[in-house]
Amino acid sequence: MTVHQTASGYNFAYLDEQTKRMIRRAILKAIAIPGYQVPFASREMPMPYGWGTGGVQVTAAILGSGDRLKVIDQGADDTTNAVSIRKFFEKTSGVETTTHTADATIIQTRHRIPEKTLTADQVLVYQVPIPEPLRFLEPRETETRVMHALEDYGLMHVKLYEDIATHGHIATTYAYPVKVEDRYVMDPSPTPKFDNPKMNDCAALQLFGAGREKRIYALPPHTKVVSLDFEDHPFEPTKFDHACALCGATHTYLDEVITDDAGGRMFVCSDTDHCEERRAEGHRGELLGEAPAAIAGAAE
Amino acid sequence: MYVAVKGGERAIDNAHRLLAHARRGDPAVPEVAPAQIREQLTLAVDRVMTEGSLYDRDLAAIAIKQARGDLVEAAFLVRAFRSTLPRFGASEPVDTAAMQVARRVSATFKDIPGGQVLGPTFDYTHRLVDFLLEAGADVPEPARAPADETAMPRVTDLLGHDDLIERNPPGDPDAPVPDLTREPLDLPAGRDLRLQNLARGDEGFILALGYSTQRGFGRTHPFAGEIRLGEVEVELFSEDLGFAVPLGDITVTECQMVNQFKGSATEPPRFTRGYGLAFGHCERKTMGMALVDRALRAGELGEEVKAPAQDEEFVLMHSDNVQATGFVEHLKLPHYVDFQAELGLIREIAGRQAGDEPLKEAAE
């Protein structure tokens, strides 16, 4: 953990206080109506749209000088965009950063929920590309807003049913739609459906920011979040046939890493912090000690 | 190998150093100064100011240099800078009729009060590469004439006197000014908000949409009533003083299209308007903008909405190149978590099909 000097010429955490207030109002409204997408006046940020500007604005609006920030992308702290966003907040706010899930008060994430169970004093901020779960069924915002207002989710159920008719099961593996407190259908952001159960009854506050689409939504602590399914085709989280090659975990989400051009591959935890902690506790996977440093994380 | 993206901080720092090196190019060639860009690549500066929504020639010039000439990237730099600036008010409406005109042409009348003024234009140049520019020849002085004091009324105002063109709705000075950059876009949008969106929209996108209306996808029968380029004064009403004070002059291009309209149950046939306005000298942009503005008024004028250029949600949601480039290019970011989920699904389906249908394969 390191403390950095704040960049001069910019306000704490980049955004001016007016803008932060505007975002906080949107966040409060989102918390008051779980799963509802609140429009907000998203700003141009110094990183591109689609690269986490929504999450960055939410984090900037809630960040205080006493916070400890963790940023992950694909579950890992050392992916380039996670490094870039973490550096941005180090530079503009000077807050402490950490890679340890348990030590963080705010965790900004893209595409994953940490494996370690989150606690009541933590906030998970998701980067969201397309906040509208109905968007690929109905491209018009003017239409989908009416559908949410009328709780008209027939189209979504038809889509899931058609999956079953075609494939024998629901063929959605990530951004798997959920229903929040029996009311709003919500996009969990493109997290794998493996992570969906972690959203339900979560002790931490979960905030979702979509910068380009100018929407914020939220799950207050201990909100009921149910993955959409049918009685005879219940929701099933992804399961892996492998254990993590580094830490031996059998309960985590795994990345497939191609190791050569002859079909060689290994499976490793996508949550790098969780994997490293397990190894520190003495858990050993099959290939620990043999895997390249870029994957095992020893060289950095 | 894809895992290389787990490069960490050193890789990013090194990439930035390499970028700066590539930006500089051959060190034997003199480095370009932002002032040179500001003075000699003026149309690039104009485009970056327009799409960056900030009138600052020096800032745009630095952005163009920093972006290695990538104008969308430069507009993005300007936008990101702009979002840190405080907003202290909205100016009075600029009066383009009082413009210090540098160029003004009308395609609807052979002669007009104040005359046709060609000004600095590529229009009648032959597009032959001028190799003299390579060596850098002296530029002859432009022809000069005494300033003409004749007023230059807007062509659409002349038509308006005869009631041949729809009247502009009267302006309400007390009405709030919507601000696309401070409020999320809400649909359906008013014409003012649509014009804001089109003004900062991508030149290529607006051009292509305008072009599509000319080829029959939402035809509007346009005539270029007038295109004018010049300086206008920007004024801000001061609460302390009780009157508007000038902030300075900006150069703008304005295009007023005059479009046929066959009339409706309540409206007599008369000409209608399409409007374009942007910073600097940018006729392609403002002409495209005026065509799309008119096309987007289809609903208001009782015309059938069936072409892309007439579809407000389609146009307004996709016109912004900073948004578009960000989202398209974000596909470069790692997606291996989701891809892994899809890989698993495909393998499962492929495995099941291989298991289910061995007999069929054997029979063939």
Contact at 8 Å (CB) between A196 and A174? Answer: no
Size of interface A-B (CB pairs under 8 A): 144
Strand, coil or helix: what is B128?
Answer: coil
Q: Which residues pair with B258 in a beta bridge?
A: B223, B273
List the end-to-end C-alpha distance of chain B, in Å, as a whole number. 40
Give me the pLDDT at residue B169, please.
Answer: 80
Q: How far are the Cα atoms of A60, A117, A122, A226 from residue A204, in angstroms, in the given order?
A: 18, 9, 5, 17
Over residues B179-187, the mean pLDDT reads 89
pLDDT of res. A289 = 81
Share of chain B above pLDDT 90, in %: 62
% of chain B with per-residue pLDDT over 70:
96
Of B184, B323, B343, the CB nearest to A49: B323
> In this predicted model, what pLDDT tens digit does every residue of B84-113 receive, in sequence order?
888 888 899 999 999 999 999 999 988 888
Give the pLDDT mean for B325-329: 95
Q: Would the CB atoms of A83 and B8 count as touching at under 8 Å?
A: yes
Question: Residue A110 and residue B338: Cα distance in Å, rounded?
Answer: 11
Determine the angle formed by the axes of helices B203-214 and B42-52, rounding to 10 degrees. Answer: 90
Check whether B211 has a pLDDT greater than 90: yes
Look at residue B361 in the predicted model and tell me its pLDDT. 40
CA distances from A92 to A9, A27, A85, B78, B242 (A): 9, 22, 11, 19, 40
List, for residues B128-171, the tens digit of each pLDDT value: 999 889 888 888 999 988 877 788 889 888 888 878 898 888 87
- The chain-wide mean pLDDT, for chain B, equals 90
Contacts of B1 in chain A (CB under 8 A): 258
Amino acid identity of residue B300, one-letter, is E
Q: Give the closest residue to A128 by CA, choosing from A78, A86, A69, A187.
A: A187
Are A246 and A285 a contacting pair, CB within 8 Å?
yes
Distance CA A171, CA A176 (A): 9
Give B349→chain A minimum CA distance, Å: 7
In angstroms, rounded to a whole number, what is the distance separating the alpha carbons of residues A134 and A116? Answer: 30
Q: Please say whether the beta carbons of A300 and A106 come within 8 A.
A: no
Question: Tokens 């920093």 correspond to what residue?
Answer: B66
Q: What pLDDT is attached to residue B355? A: 75
pLDDT classification of B360: cutoffs 50, 70, 90? very low
Chain A positions touching B355 (Cβ under 8 A) are none
CA pair distance A74, A71, nearest whole angstrom: 10
Residue B258 pLDDT > 50: yes
Show residues of chain A in contact with B335, CB under 8 Å.
74, 111, 190
> Which of chain B's residues have a Cβ under 8 Å away from the Cβ of A294?
3-4, 6
- Structure confidence by residue, pLDDT tens digits, B21-70: 999 999 999 999 999 999 999 999 999 999 999 999 999 999 999 999 99
Parallel/antiparallel/unpaired status of strands A123-127 and A106-110 = parallel
CB distance A295–B3 less than 8 Å? yes
Cα dist. A127→A47, A111, A189, B69, B179 in Å? 13, 8, 7, 30, 25
In order, the DSSP letters of A256-297 are EEE-SSSS-EEEEES-HHHHHHHHHTT---TTTTTS-HHHHT
Model pLDDT, residue A238: 87
Of A87, A174, A258, the CB nearest to B341: A174
| Nearest-neighbour CA in chain A from B326: distance (Å) | 4
Locate tokens 């250029």: which residue?
Answer: B309
Q: Which residues of chain A have pLDDT under 70?
A: 1-8, 297-300
CA angle B275, B276, B280 (to 5 degrees): 155
Q: Name the residue in chain A with its Cα closest to that of B82.
A: A44
Higher-confidence residue of B338 and A206: namely: A206
Q: Is B160 exposed, middle or buried (0-12, 13-18, 19+ CB in 10 A)?
A: middle
Confidence (pLDDT) at B363: 39
Residue closest to B323 by CA, chosen among B202, B225, B196: B202
Above 80 in pLDDT, residue B6? no
Specify whether the backbone of B89 is left (phi greater than 0), alpha (psi in -120 to 50) or beta: left
| C-alpha distance from B222 to closest chain A C-alpha (Å) | 29
Q: What confidence score (pLDDT) does residue B7 get? A: 58
**Cβ-contact A80, A236 below 8 angstroms:** no
Q: Looking at CA atoms only, how far is residue B342 from chain A in angstroms? A: 6
Residue A72 to residue A81: CA distance in whole angstroms: 8
pLDDT at B3 over 70: no
3-state secondary structure B111-122: CCCCCCECCCCC
Which residue from A11, A49, A294 is facing B326, i.e. has the nearest CB? A49
Taking an 8 Å cut-off on Cβ atoms, the answer to whether B341 and A300 are in contact is: no
* Cβ contact B317–A141 (<8 Å): yes
Q: What is the pLDDT of residue A300?
A: 36
Q: What's the pLDDT at B269?
A: 82
Question: Is the CB of B313 less than 8 angstroms away from the CB of A50?
Answer: no
Beta-sheet pairing, A68-73 with A96-97: parallel
A2 HSE (CA, 13 A, CB side): 8
Pick from A41, A44, A50: CB nearest B183 = A41
